[in-house]
Structure 1
Amino acid sequence: MLKIDGVVAGYGGTTIVQGVSLEVPAGECAVLVGPNGHGKTTLLRAISGLIKVRDGGIAFDGEDITRERAEKIVERGLIHIPQGDLVFPDMTVAENLQLGAFTKSAARQSKARLEEVYDIFPRLREREGQRARTLSGGERRMLAIGRGLMGDAKLIMIDEPSLGLAPVIVDEVYRQLRRIVDSGMTVLLVEENFRRGQSLADRIHLVENGEIVRSGQADEVLDDQAVRETYLGVAE
């Protein structure tokens, strides 16, 4: 579904992503794990067309999207849900969700898609008439994810869904993410917490200094003693 080949990207004169290559097969959940500031978010921004790719290529659903504009990439069905609670605070929950169905294909299915989102996040159905600014942090995170699902998505990229949330709220968000993954949606997830990422991943990619230093199924990656010591604090 998504193939990244030697991608280099950054900001101004600084290169952050240093020749990353990876693939995300259809129907799988791939997780990028690694320390903050090492290029995970920058890679998602390059994939979704928010910053330019300096070198390398990106193919989505068999088509080259390396130089496409962000809005065209969204129309293809590649949806990027960024970090934080980026919702429209003075709009209601329902209005925020409807804005996620702005492409022609998504608009045609918006009613059915809205019911699917409410089924995944029942809390949003309960709050549909409330303004987004009155929601809790966890509810705003659910709303941001739900708005992304309103698009005609073939693949969703979710950046740090647990960022800044209390552990009990993170548990709830991850229960709903489990439902999304189990539905067969193709997912590329960024998560700093290895254990959280492992709970969803078909495949894990460890990112350090803008490079992928280890890839594989979660159990395979955990067999690496250096990974266990660095990411889990487990020494033998």
Structure 2
Amino acid sequence: MHDDEADLALLLEVAAAAGPLALSYWKHAPDAWEKDAGAGPVSEADLAVNALMEERLRAARPDYGWLSEESADDPARLGRERVFIVDPIDGTRAFLNEEGGFAHAIAVAERGRIVAAVVSLPVMELVYSATAEGPALRNGTEIRVSDTVRADGCRVLTSKLSTDPVQWRGPVPVFRHELRSSLAWRLCLVAEGRFDATLSLRPAWEWDTAAASLIATRAGALATDRCGVALQFNGPSAQSNGVVVAPPVLHAEFIARLRPGPGLD
């Protein structure tokens, strides 16, 4: 029988080791290149952190599957009861721009749902964590979402895509929006109530959302795709139809007003 708390302790240990390794490359001009098909940048730091995480996590839990942004996908993960879902450096652009807003995102999924999660920002000395039955924590202190219930006037972490009228069934909500490079950090900022919601209306990769979605839900948010369907993990495509994370009443308003996809009803 698996122990979520033991898995969380393992994730925290590995995140603590990943931070110094990432920082040994940060601000030291690591080699970097663009992935194929416009998938964004990757650096030697991403690969080094990925190798560290894979070695330590898989050695500790050899029966778990593995899904990482920086590893070739192995379909064998689909048949595993538990799977590590990892983004070694979420926010690689921020990392390469020598900004501190990048994160290590590590989660354990069991039959499609996240049961243990850590999002760590080493520059900012922030560690967010949760298990499926425990509270959401920021550096060991419990966090909660905001009590905002109206889309108009709320604070949203999102891109300019979200203000395009084609994304909405009626008038675009008038919200204040900012962006952070790390999607995992955006969800954590909602979890701690510093922002009211986050919207990502493009297809979202599981490794960007797995860990932080549990932290957000344990803090009182709902985390779904843009149609309001609960996020599921370790799927064949490893993607969801966007992400909407917000306190329940606010979340319901966003889902009611969003189109299910660009230009669709």
Give the alignment's TM-score, normalised by structure 1: 0.30
Q: Determine which structure has the larger helix proportion and give its number.
A: 1
TM-score, scaled to structure 2: 0.27
Higher relative contact order (CA closer than 8 Å, sequence separation 6+): 1
